[in-house]
């Protein structure tokens, strides 16, 4: 008693239009499944690779207070990666396949993590801008149509707000410090501002996935809407710090009630996406190395579990 | 990694409440599943008790059969208190 595919697709769309969640065992179009695997796994990979630029500063934080905060943040990113991998696995892809896609370069992760963290201020800027941009995207995704993804997002959003606040606090401390410290914060904003705007993806007219994603309520706002929202929230925060957003065309548009901003260098964006960013190779090499060098731990854990299981069976037998 | 089985994690957020499903994870055995569940799902005191259950031990209903599975309850309004007509002036019932 199987329904024709058109009928199933119609019912599926009706369910989404009515605001119902799609759960793992529900029927879904193959493209919906594939799109979700791609998006959730990219998101998971971003969390995992995102640990690397920040991990770089754990041993060099200016104080113990900063160190425990940064450690906790990086640990959260690992947790977020795990929530998301689990959500992706509910769609029928295995963890090994997901890792393989990351390590072979087949799957993408957010390009922002291919930029280097050159100074301590970069840890501040990442928390403030990169996590800030991620939060805007993720708050939208708490209402995404796929249940396990939406639930992972709720959890992640609760945890992200500390990330952004700790980042801003670092910036604030630097900006209230010496002239050199303030300059360090400014330099960091200069380097991270444009890549942060690029995190929202290509402009709507160029975005290949947006239309279908909106129809399926995978996304509920377009790239440009989210980017504008981020700019409008973030510019006053830069003003508060007393540092300047590196965009000569940035100005408040009274009529629209939002900021106008200058052209984004999309060539740079595509270069980094294609693997030619400053750290693409280093990030992937580090990931692969960690995975390969950890293989014996995974195997040993399994061998130990099997040994204990056998011992239990033996004890039962006698 | 695939050889590490999948576990479902349930957490009691405080005493007096039920365990609720919060997500899943891979672990070699129950001990590791428990430790990982603590690290992944209770980093901010979200729980006072954890259950980890091998995912393969769960039998789930099939959404395609939801119609006939839940149909029997649909026409039994008399299982609800509002089915019974009583005068408004009556109290505490």
pLDDT per residue as tens, chain A (318 positions) = 567 889 999 999 999 999 999 999 999 999 999 999 999 999 999 999 999 999 999 999 999 999 999 999 999 999 999 999 999 999 999 999 999 999 999 999 999 999 999 999 999 999 999 999 999 999 999 999 999 999 999 999 999 889 999 999 999 999 999 999 999 999 999 999 999 999 999 999 888 788 888 899 988 899 999 999 999 999 999 999 999 999 999 999 999 999 999 999 999 999 999 999 999 999 999 999 999 999 999 999 999 999 998 998 888 887
**What pLDDT score does A1 carry?**
53
Predicted TM-score (pTM) of the model is 0.92
Q: Is the CB of A305 less than 8 angstroms away from the CB of B60? A: no
Predicted pLDDT of residue A83:
95
Residues 6+ apart with CB under 8 A from A56: A117
Of A25, A76, A82, the CB nearest to B62: A25
Q: Does B39 touch chain A (CB under 8 A)?
A: yes
Distance CA B6, CA B47 (A): 21
Interface membership of A313 toward B (CB under 8 Å):
no
pLDDT at residue A3, rounded to an integer: 73
pLDDT of residue A316: 86
**Cα–Cα distance between A284 and A145 in angstroms, integer?**
31
Q: Choose among A101, A160, A129: nearest CA to A287.
A: A101
Task: Give the SS3 label for residue B4.
Answer: coil
Mean pLDDT for B80-88 is 94
DSSP string covering A42-101: HHHHHHHHTHHHHHTTGGG-SSHHHHHHHHHHHHHHHHHHHHHHHHHHTTT--HHHHHHH
Of the options 2.40.50.140, 3.30.70.260, 3.10.20.520, 3.40.50.300, the CATH number for the domain spanning B6-79? 3.10.20.520
Strands, E, within B1-93: which ranges? 6-12, 19-26, 49-54
Closest A-chain CA to B63: A26
Cβ atoms of B10 and B20 closer than 8 Å: yes
Is residue B1 over pLDDT 60?
no
pLDDT at residue A208, as a whole number: 79
Domain boundaries, chain B: 6-79
CB-based contact B4 A94, cutoff 8 Å: no
Find which of B28, B35, B44, B47 to mutate to test the A interface (most A CBs within 10 Å of its CB): B28
User: pLDDT tens, B31-45?
Assistant: 999 999 999 999 999
Distance separating alpha carbons of residues A159 and B8, to the nearest angstrom: 21
Q: Provide, as residue numbers in chain B, all residues whose Cβ is less than 8 Å from the Cβ of A27.
A: 63-64
Inform me whether the C-beta atom of residue B46 falls under 8 Å from chain A C-beta atoms.
no
- Asked whether the beta carbons of residue A152 and residue B63 sit closer than 8 angstroms, the reply is no
Residue A260: enclosing H or E segment and its boundaries?
strand A258-260
Taking CA–CA distances from A80, the nearest residue in chain B reads B40
Contact A82 B62 (CB under 8 A): no
Q: Which residues of A are less than 8 Å from B28 in CB distance?
A: 298, 301-302, 304-305
CA geometry: angle at A272 spanning A288 and A251, to 5°?
A: 135
Tokens of B27: 């672990």
From B26, B39, B60, residue closest to A25, measured CB to CB:
B60
Q: Name the band, by pLDDT with cuts 50, 70 and 90, for residue B59.
A: very high
Q: What is the pLDDT of residue A317?
A: 82
**Cα–Cα distance for residue pair A212/A219, rounded to 1 Å:** 9
Query: For residue B21, what pLDDT band results from cuts at 50, 70 and 90?
Result: very high
| Interface with chain A: mutation pick from B21, B24, B30, B44, highest number of A CBs within 10 Å | B24
What ipTM was assigned to the predicted interfaces of this complex? 0.87
Report how far apart, in Å, the C-alpha atoms of B53 and of each of A127, A275, B50, B56 are.
36, 41, 10, 8
* Residue B55 to residue A11: CA distance in whole angstroms: 29
State the pLDDT at residue A218: 87
Collapsing DSSP to helix, strand or coil, A259 comes out as: strand
Nearest by CB to residue B4, choosing from A159, A302, A309, is A302
Chain B: give the shortest CA distance to residue A227, in Å: 31
Cβ contacts of residue A314 below 8 Å, gap of 6+? none
* Helix (H) or strand (E) run with residue A286 in it: helix A280-293
Chain A residue with Cα closest to B21 = A151
Contact (CB, 8 A) for A25 and B60: yes
H or E, element range at A142: none
């Amino acid at each position: 008693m199987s329904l024709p595919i058109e009928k199933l697709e119609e019912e599926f769309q009706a369910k989404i239009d009515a605001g119902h969640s799609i759960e793992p065992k529900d029927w879904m179009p193959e493209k919906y499944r594939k799109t979700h695997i791609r998006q959730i796994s990219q998101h998971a990979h971003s969390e995992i690779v995102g640990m690397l630029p920040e991990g770089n500063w754990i041993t060099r934080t200016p104080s113990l207070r900063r160190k425990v905060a940064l450690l906790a943040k990086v640990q959260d990113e690992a947790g977020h990666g795990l929530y998301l991998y689990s959500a992706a696995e509910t769609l029928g892809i295995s963890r090994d396949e997901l890792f393989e896609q990351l390590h072979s370069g087949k799957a993408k992760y957010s390009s922002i993590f291919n930029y280097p963290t050159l100074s301590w201020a970069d840890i501040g800027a990442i928390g403030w801008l990169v996590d800030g941009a991620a939060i805007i995207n993720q708050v939208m995704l708490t209402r995404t149509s796929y249940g396990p993804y939406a639930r992972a997002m709720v959890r992640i959003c609760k945890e992200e707000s500390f990330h952004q606040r700790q980042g801003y606090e670092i910036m604030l401390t630097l900006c209230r410090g010496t002239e050199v410290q303030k300059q360090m914060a400014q330099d960091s904003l200069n380097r991270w501002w444009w890549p942060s705007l690029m995190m929202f993806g290509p402009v709507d007219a160029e975005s290949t996935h947006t239309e279908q994603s909106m129809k399926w309520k995978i996304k509920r706002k377009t790239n440009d809407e989210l980017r504008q929202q981020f700019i409008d929230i973030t510019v006053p925060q830069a003003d508060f710090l007393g540092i300047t957003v590196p965009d000569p065309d940035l100005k408040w548009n009274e009529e629209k009630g939002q900021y106008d901003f200058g052209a984004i260098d999309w060539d740079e964006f595509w270069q980094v996406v294609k693997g030619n960013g400053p750290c693409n190779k280093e990030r992937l090499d580090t990931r692969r190395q960690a995975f390969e060098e950890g293989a014996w731990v995974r195997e040993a854990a399994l061998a130990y579990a099997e040994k204990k299981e056998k011992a239990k069976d033996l004890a039962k037998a006698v | 990694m695939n050889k590490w089985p999948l576990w479902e994690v349930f957490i009691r957020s405080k005493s007096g409440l039920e365990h609720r499903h919060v997500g899943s994870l891979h672990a070699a055995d129950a001990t590791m599943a428990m430790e990982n569940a603590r690290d992944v799902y209770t980093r901010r005191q979200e729980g006072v008790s954890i259950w980890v259950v091998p995912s393969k031990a769960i039998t789930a209903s099939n959404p395609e059969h939801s119609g006939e599975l839940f149909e029997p309850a649909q026409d039994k309004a008399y299982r609800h208190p509002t089915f019974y007509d009583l005068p408004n002036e009556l109290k505490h019932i």
